[in-house]
Amino acid sequence: MTEHWGIILFKTAFWLYVASAVCYIAHVIRTRSAAGKLATSFLLVGIALHTASLVWITIAIGRLPYLNLHEYLLMFSWGAAVLYAATELMTRDRSFGTFAMPVVTLLALVAYREPEVIQRSVMPALQSPWRVPHIISAVLAYSSFTIAYVAAAMYLVRERAEAKSESFWASRLPALKVLDRVVYRAIAFGFLMQTILLITGAIWAQYAWGRYWGWDPKETWALITWLIYAAYLHTRITMGWRGRKSAILATIGFVAVMFTFFGVSKLLSGLHSYA
């Protein structure tokens, strides 16, 4: 059994995500069209194929795909798609897809265009029982922060639209309170997952390299990201920050997430250069 068919399933899912993103945009432009239901249908079928892709690849190579950028993006884009679908289900508002699905599609596009290198050999340092909770918590944390960013961006767009009496966005996006609540819930869950990520990573590092923390670039930026979201939660809970301030802080946090994920991997060398 090879991973070839798993890659084909993923690429099919990618094109379904593209179709879904287009339909979500059409749904916002023409709110009474059937495009919204079609968008959700494309999304759910895409998630099903994407899930099948990950299962196929995992069985074929005997582990979760996480050793390089292509492999990890297969999981990151899947997590973002699943959490967006959950957000739509909870809010019953498809306008989120207008912003969320282009982001999900972009993540999947990077995986689509990355060299399809599935590594079968795993260095001994990475063969730890802690790898599964570490990887899963990373996927859930980054995916949650992605959804938080999407809702924060929508908040800023709607707030600006209301201030300038621009009826198009003001009438088509969720209420500001709804968007603020989605940002908060996504960050609260993501922060929990990021905490688990740091703890399991430290234990894994002790197992692999004989120390819990070594200020590796990826470790350092993961901690910086955690601190930014800790600041978001602290200012919200103790200082009553809501709305615009919180949305901006959530956006800053997402920039840190993207640098941790892409920037560190491409620009800085370290023990996590494989991820």
- Mean pLDDT split into 10-residue runs, the chain, 275 residues: 82 97 92 86 98 93 82 93 96 93 95 68 67 92 97 94 78 90 97 96 82 83 96 94 92 95 72 52
Where do we find the tokens 């767009």?
157
CA dist 178 and 239 (Å) reads: 20
Q: What is the pLDDT of residue 184?
A: 97
Amino acid identity for residue 253 in this structure: G
Q: What is the pLDDT of residue 273?
A: 52
Asked whether the beta carbons of 126 and 208 are under 8 A apart, the reply is yes
CA dist 102 and 77 (Å) reads: 11
DSSP string, 106-133: HHHHHHHHS---------GGG--TTHHH
φ, ψ for residue 241, nearest 5 deg: -65, 135
Q: What is the pLDDT of residue 25?
A: 93
Q: What is the pLDDT of residue 164?
A: 81
Distance of CA 212 to the CA centre of its chain: 26
Is residue 165 classed as helix, strand or coil in its secondary structure? coil
Q: What is the pLDDT of residue 32?
A: 66
Q: What is the pLDDT of residue 198?
A: 95
The domain 1-122 having CATH identifier 1.20.120: the answer here is yes
Distance between start and end Cα atoms, the chain: 25
Q: What's the pTM?
A: 0.90
Residue limits of CATH 1.20.120 in the chain: 1-122
Compute the radius of gyration of the chain from its Cα atoms. Answer: 19
Q: What is the pLDDT of residue 227?
A: 97
Q: What is the pLDDT of residue 70?
A: 82
CA dist 199 and 130 (Å) reads: 10
As given in the structure block, the two tokens for residue 73 are 């993006």
